Amino acid sequence: MTTETITFSVDVPEAAAVPRVIEVECGDSRVTLRQVMGRTDRDWTVYEGDGFDQGRNKGLVGQVENAPRAENPDDLISWAADLVTRRERARLATFALRRVADDKPHRVQDHDDQPAPDQG
């Protein structure tokens, strides 16, 4: 009986970190950049989403209307940043306007900071 020695070598590629989800946010407004059909797809676009942190794990809602597509997500970041900035500006303006344009009745205070007798 003879003894044989088998020698082989395996080249293992270096580990690579590839982001698959990029969130772009401004205040409470946010969108998510993702690959359209999964991790092997080359098209990225912008999706509505509720975020993947802080216990809101509702995930993606749908593609943003008229969002561009690109092979590289870096090409979409400026478009998404402009979108969330405009949305946050509109959200804050609407909030401020609601505080100014309050059409609900308020209690009338008497001169001694007590409600008027006829108001209950």
3-state SS assignment for residue 72: coil
Task: List residues bridging with 49 in a β-sheet.
Answer: 60
Share of the chain above pLDDT 90, in %: 35
Region 68-77: mean pLDDT is: 92
Beta strands in the chain (DSSP E): 21-26, 29-35, 44-49, 60-63
Residue 79 confidence (pLDDT) above 90: yes
Q: Is 88 helix (H, G, I), strand (E, B) or coil?
A: helix
96 vs 106 pLDDT, higher one: 96
**Chain Cα centroid distance, residue 106:** 37
- Tens-place pLDDT, residues 103-119: 778 777 767 766 666 65
pLDDT digits (tens, 9 = 90+) for 17-39: 777 888 999 998 889 998 888 77
